[in-house]
Structure 1
Amino acid sequence: MKTLGLIGGTSWHATVEYYSEINKKVSNIIGKQANPELIIYSINIELMREQNKEKIQAKYFEVSKKLQEAGAEGIIICANTPHMVYDYVQPKIDIPISHIGIATGRAAQDAGFKTLGLLGNKPTMTGQFIPSVLEDNFGMEVIIPEANDLEQSHFYVSKELTQGVFSDQAKEFYLNQINKLKNKGADGIILGCTELPLLLKDVKAELPMLATTDLHIDMAVNFIMDGKG
C-alpha cells in the first residue's frame, strides 16, 4: 500500500469524512484487521476565509513539502476550493496530488453527462480550477447559478455548512438551484462543496448529483492500493 498525505481542516467536518471513509474502504479490501498509513495536516480554515490567494498558495506548498518529507507518496486535498492551488503546488513537489476535478470528470463521463451544473462556494463556482479540468480533459460544459444565487450559496457554505450547520433552509435552497440549473440545460449536478453531500444525503433531486467527496475518496483509495490516482 502507498502512504497518502491528507491536507484537511477546510473544513474539519469534511476531513473527518475523508479520514473515516478512506479507512473503511481500504479495510474492506485488505481486511478489517489492518488500515492504511495516512499522514494528516489540518490547516486553520481562517486561511481560506481571508481569500488571499498568495498566502493560500504558500501555505499549501509548505504543507505539501512537509507531507512529502514525512513520507507521503501522494497527496489528497480534503476539500474542493483549495484545489485552486493545484497548478501552483504540483509542479514544485515530487509526489502527485490527486485532483478532485479528475475524479469528478471520470464519473461524469461514465454517466454520459455533457453539461454539468456546479454548486459550492463563490470561489469554487466562479473559479476555473474545476471547470477547466472538466472542459479540457473531458469536453464538458460547466454552468453556474445566477449572481444573486452565487452570493446566497456562498453564505450557506461559509456561514453554515463549513461550521457544521445543516439547515432545512439550505437544503431547500440547493434543491431549488438544481431545478434552475436543469432549466439552463444541465444534465448532472456537481456538489462542489465537501459538505454538500452531507446536507443532501438521501435527498431526491431533479438531476443526478455527483458527490465530489465520495468520488475523491474513491480516487484516494485507488492510489493507496495501486499507486494510481
Structure 2
Amino acid sequence: MKKFGLVGGLGPISTLEYYKSIHDLYREKVETTGVCASNPPMVIDSLDLAVAYDLVSRKDWNTLSKWLIASIERLHGAGAEFAAIAANTAHIVFDEIQAGSPIPVIGIVDETCKYAHAKGLKKLIVFGTGFTMESGMYEKACAKVGIEAIVPNKEDQVIIHNIIFPNLEAGIVLAEEKAAMLGIANKMLAAHQADALVLGCTELPLIIKEGDLDTVLIDTTQVHIEAILRKILS
C-alpha cells in the first residue's frame, strides 16, 4: 500500500471527484473487516486556480512548473510516495514536473493514451481548455502509441474554452452551452470518422455524459483515478 498525494484545486469540483472516486473504488477492492470501511492513505495540497490560470495565460511555463513541483514537495513532506495532478492543463509542463519531482507522478495524458490504445482505438477527438487543445500534448502522447488525436479548429476551441471558464469550473451547466458543445462534437465525429471523444478537462464530464453522443466517451478523470488506485494498491 502506497500513500498518495494529490495536487488539487485546479479546479475544486474535480478535486472532490478525485477524492470521492478514489475512496469509492478503494472500498470496492479492499475488504472491510470492522464496523467502518477502510480509507486509502492520501493527502491533498489544494492550489489556487486563479494563480494557475494567470500563469498559463501568460505562458509562464517555468514559474508554473516550479509552483507545481513545490506542491508535490509539500505532499512528499507529508509522506506521499507518489503524486498526481487533478487537472489536464497543468500537464503542459509535465516533462518538467517529472524531472523536478522528488516522487513519481502519474500523468493524466499518458494514462489516457495508454487506455485508448488498450481499447484498440485509432482516432480520437480531444476536447479541453483552449490551453490544452492548442498545446499539442495529446497529439504527441497519442502518436507514441499509434493513435491520431484531433482537436477542434480555433473558432470551436474558443467556444469550448468559454464554456469551461467560468461556468463549468464553477459547476454550472447551461442547456444552450451543452447544446453547443454536443454540436461541435457531432460535427467533428462525423467529419473525421473518429472512434471516441476524449473529455480532456476534468470538468467536462459535468456537461457531456454517457448517452449524449453516439460514440465512446473517454473520461480522463476516471482513467486517471483508476491508474492512481492501482498504484495505491501496488
Mapped pair 1:178 → 2:185: yes
RMSD (Å) for aligned C-alpha atoms: 1.4
Compute the displacement of 1:207 (Å): 1.9
Compute the displacement of 1:31 (Å): 3.0
CA distance in 1, matches of 2:79, 2:127: 35
Aligned length: 225
Contact 1:60 1:85 in 2 (8 A): no
Tell me which of 180, 189, 196 is aligned to 2:197: 189
User: Which residue of structure 2 lines up, in the alignment, with residue 9 of structure 1?
Assistant: 9
Q: Percent identity?
A: 30
Contact 2:199 2:217 in 1 (8 A): yes
Compute the displacement of 1:129 (Å): 2.7
Superposition TM-score, scaled by structure 1 size: 0.93
Superposition TM-score, scaled by structure 2 size: 0.91
What is the 5 A alignment of 1:1-229? Answer: 1-32=1-32, 33-50=37-54, 51=56, 52-136=60-144, 138-182=145-189, 183-226=191-234
CA distance in 2, matches of 1:224, 1:57: 24
Deviates more, 1:126-135 or 1:157-166: 126-135
Compute the displacement of 1:109 (Å): 1.4
Contact 2:138 2:149 in 1 (8 A): no
Question: Counterpart of 1:190 in 2: which secondary structure?
Answer: strand
Deviates more, 1:61-70 or 1:210-219: 61-70
Question: What letter matches 1:179 in structure 2?
Answer: N
Deviates more, 1:212-221 or 1:180-189: 180-189
Q: Deviations over 1:41-75 (max 9, x none)?
A: 01100022212323221210111111112211110
Question: Counterpart of 1:130 in 2: which secondary structure?
Answer: helix
**Structure 1 runs (4+) greater than 4 angstroms displaced:** none
CA distance in 2, matches of 1:121, 1:185: 23
Contact 2:112 2:220 in 1 (8 A): yes
